[in-house]
Amino acid sequence: MRERDEAGGGLGRGLLPRLLGYHLRRAQVAVFKHFAASVGAEENITPGLFGMLVMIAENPGLSQSRLAEAMEVDRSTIVTAIDQLEARDLAVRGRSPTDRRSYCLALTDNGRRALRRMREAVLRHEEEFAAHLSPSEREELIRLVVKLYAGRDRP
């Protein structure tokens, strides 16, 4: 399930291997493929939809627009995603009690059960995917990635 070590092996890559952005993209592609082949194959879910289910579970009354902001996606992406979660009986939209133009999101009973199974599958995927790193390397990698995108050490 791991991507080939040398995609396009033997080709010159010029300055690309000096760029963080290049390596982050390759890592992102690899982790997405591993997720698809493990969690995705078992539970028919993408990392993005899984993240949304977690956020809905953790934040009762969460609005669609705050979820979009938290997931760093645009409005049309979130609408499509929530449509999918509703069609699969994993989540529902309700009218916000404070703002009639706004939706607040909740998991269904089925969604709560599915999320429990998915969490286990995601943690197994994470462990397998990071198997080449020691626990301290994994922690250090997370620390450096967070420092890169958030501009500071993890809180």
To a second copy, the closest distance from the beta carbon of 137 in angstroms equals: 6
Residue in this structure with the two tokens 């420092």, named with its chain if needed: 147
Query: Are residues 34 and 1 in contact, defined by beta-carbon separation less than 8 angstroms?
Result: yes
Distance, in Å, from the CA atom of 41 to the CA atom of 124, rounded to the nearest integer, reads 13
Closer of 4 and 87 to a second copy (Cβ):
4
Q: 36, 42, 43, 71: which one contacts a second copy (CB under 8 A)?
A: 71
To a second copy, the closest distance from the beta carbon of 94 in angstroms equals: 18
Which tokens sit at 57? 């579970």
What separation in angstroms does the CA of 82 have from each of 53, 55, 76, 128, 130?
A: 10, 12, 10, 29, 30
Site map for a second copy, 73-112, x if CB under 8 A?
----------------------------------------
Query: Are residues 108 and 91 in contact, defined by beta-carbon separation less than 8 angstroms?
Result: yes
Query: Are residues 107 and 49 in contact, defined by beta-carbon separation less than 8 angstroms?
Result: no
Alpha-helical segments (H) within 18-105: 20-35, 41-43, 47-58, 64-71, 75-87
The interface region with a second copy, picked from 82-90, 91-99, 102-110, 137-145 by CB under 8 A, is 137-145
Contact between 119 and a second copy per CB under 8 A: yes
Distance, in Å, from the CA atom of 44 to the CA atom of 37, rounded to the nearest integer, reads 10
The interface region with a second copy, picked from 28-36, 77-85, 90-98, 106-114 by CB under 8 A, is 28-36
Q: 83, 123, 124, 128: which one contacts a second copy (CB under 8 A)?
A: 123
- Binding residues vs a second copy (CB under 8 A): 2-3, 5-8, 11-32, 35, 47, 51, 54-55, 57-59, 62, 66-67, 69-72, 119, 122-123, 125-126, 129-130, 132-133, 137-138, 140-142, 144-152, 154
